[in-house]
Amino acid sequence: MNLMQAFKMAFKSIASKKMRSFLTMLGIIIGVASVVIMVSVVQGQNKKQMEYLEAMGDNKIQVYAYQNYGSSGNVSELLYEYCLGMQDLVLGVTPQIEVWQEITIKYGAKTFNTQNWDDWDKRMSLKLGSDQYGVCNNYTLASGRELSFLDVDKTNRVCVLGGGAKKLLFDFVDPVGETIFINSQPFLVVGWYEPTGVEGMSDMDNMVLLPYTFNRTLNNNQDISQYVVKAKSASATTLAIAKLKAFLGGFINDENGYYDVYSNNDWSDQMQEQSLMQSLVLGAIAGISLLVGGIGIMNIMLVTVTERTREIGIRKAIGAERRSIIVQFLIEAAVICGIGGLIGIGLGCMGSLIAGKFLIQGMILWPSSMITIGAFTFSVVLGVVFGLYPAIKASSLQPVEALRAE
């Protein structure tokens, strides 16, 4: 018997018992679909997080530092002056402050609120930073200018709009030179940034940037403890982190405060490692369903061997070799699992699209070719492995005994 005849007999056997064949495939279908959906969701989440980090910018150093009341020195001023002395490594430094108090932002008849949690796309955020805020946070100036050192030093009533805030307040009109009202106080718009384009991260664009010296009046003079330092390159990032840790450690200790310095580059590596681990864990969990499906394949193939005992006896009586009997049953098991795998991949693709829409903020989630090919290959291999014992049992039947079977 050649392979073509074996495949024809396998499809004929499956077609003759459609319901039984489908129920046999069900474990494989569920297992493959689960693997495809779970791994796709993890990869989609990782992609979304990576997009967010990329929008924030590479070589971005996060600094968290504060001193207890009564300690000498001002962390903001000391850090700013120190980073100015590292111009060969650092492009800029800024406090990273978001005003969590309820703030109203108004232009003409349009009014927005920082506490509008019901409509995330229309919620404004108020950020406070230095003249280097745009550089440190990877914003691109579309029109106008950045905040200046004098704006910060003199607490000038000026602001820079994010791309989303500009659209909400001004639509397609250039806002530079216009005046908006923040808690009824007038602020001159001196510039606005291009939209970051990160899907589902509207808070990065729907923001209004003010000099951080407004922390006293708009943020109840909260302690400033978070900063962003932008390094020139990946190698400069590593060296700058080491220097910043040494600098902060020189005047901050466990008795008078706390500090921590880390890079977004580290987060990126950690996220990729976590994504890989999540994919492996979820894939293993879904693989349990495939294992159950494989046991079902073995069971139904043993039943098939029993049903076709006379056929096997006739074939062996006329000279069929054991190898041809084994190949026939292995092909039948592989075909059942292969069809189940294809159906599972189809359901997995549809499930991934649905999961992307509802779980990852409308992201179009489509399984990679590596996932689909791997899932299909594994399902076929599973059929061969679990079909091996029934195939060997069929090939071991003695012709005389097999022909006596009813």
Residue range 271-318, pLDDT digits in tens? 667 777 777 777 677 677 777 778 888 888 887 777 777 777 777 677
Contact (CB, 8 A) for 366 and 349: yes
- Tell me: the pLDDT tens digits for 157-190? 999 999 999 999 998 899 999 999 999 999 999 9
The residue among 201, 199, 180 whose CA lies nearest residue 191 is 180
Q: Per-residue pLDDT for 35 more than 90?
A: no
Model pLDDT, residue 72: 47
368, β-bridge pairs: none
Taking the C-alpha atoms of residue 271 and residue 340, their distance in angstroms, rounded to an integer, is: 33
Model pLDDT, residue 97: 92
Phi, psi dihedral angles at 127 (to 5 degrees): -110, 150
Q: What percent of the chain has pLDDT over 70?
A: 87
Model pLDDT, residue 127: 94
SS3 233: coil
Taking the C-alpha atoms of residue 340 and residue 28, their distance in angstroms, rounded to an integer, is: 6
Model pLDDT, residue 177: 94
Taking the C-alpha atoms of residue 41 and residue 28, their distance in angstroms, rounded to an integer, is: 20
pTM over 0.75: no
232: DSSP letter: S
Contact (CB, 8 A) for 210 and 128: yes
Of 155 and 266, the structure prediction assigns the larger pLDDT to 155
Q: Per-residue pLDDT for 361 more than 70?
A: no
Identify which of 247-251, 326-330, 357-361, 381-385 has the greatest average pLDDT: 247-251
Of 43 and 82, the structure prediction assigns the larger pLDDT to 82
Average pLDDT score, the chain:
83
The residue among 36, 31, 59, 41 whose CA lies nearest residue 275 is 41
Taking the C-alpha atoms of residue 307 and residue 244, their distance in angstroms, rounded to an integer, is: 76
CA 41 to chain centre: 8
Q: Quick one: average pLDDT of 222-244?
A: 88
- Tell me: the pLDDT tens digits for 96-154? 999 988 899 999 999 998 887 777 778 899 999 999 999 998 899 999 999 999 999 99
Q: Quick one: average pLDDT of 44-64?
A: 74
Q: Quick one: average pLDDT of 251-274?
A: 77
Of 114 and 46, the structure prediction assigns the larger pLDDT to 114
Helix (H) or strand (E) holding 388: helix 369-395
Domain residue limits, the chain = 3-51+270-404, 95-230
Model pLDDT, residue 243: 93
Q: Quick one: average pLDDT of 89-99?
A: 91
Positive or negative torsion for Cα 181, 182, 184, 187: negative
Of 13 and 30, the structure prediction assigns the larger pLDDT to 30
Q: Quick one: average pLDDT of 55-72?
A: 74
The residue among 297, 313, 277, 288 whose CA lies nearest residue 405 is 313
Of 284 and 350, the structure prediction assigns the larger pLDDT to 350
Taking the C-alpha atoms of residue 385 and residue 302, their distance in angstroms, rounded to an integer, is: 14
Taking the C-alpha atoms of residue 363 and residue 43, their distance in angstroms, rounded to an integer, is: 12
Of 223 and 132, the structure prediction assigns the larger pLDDT to 132
Q: Quick one: average pLDDT of 242-270?
A: 82
Model pLDDT, residue 300: 80
The residue among 309, 373, 301 whose CA lies nearest residue 330 is 301
Question: Residue 52 — very low, low, confident or very high, per pLDDT cuts 50/70/90?
Answer: low
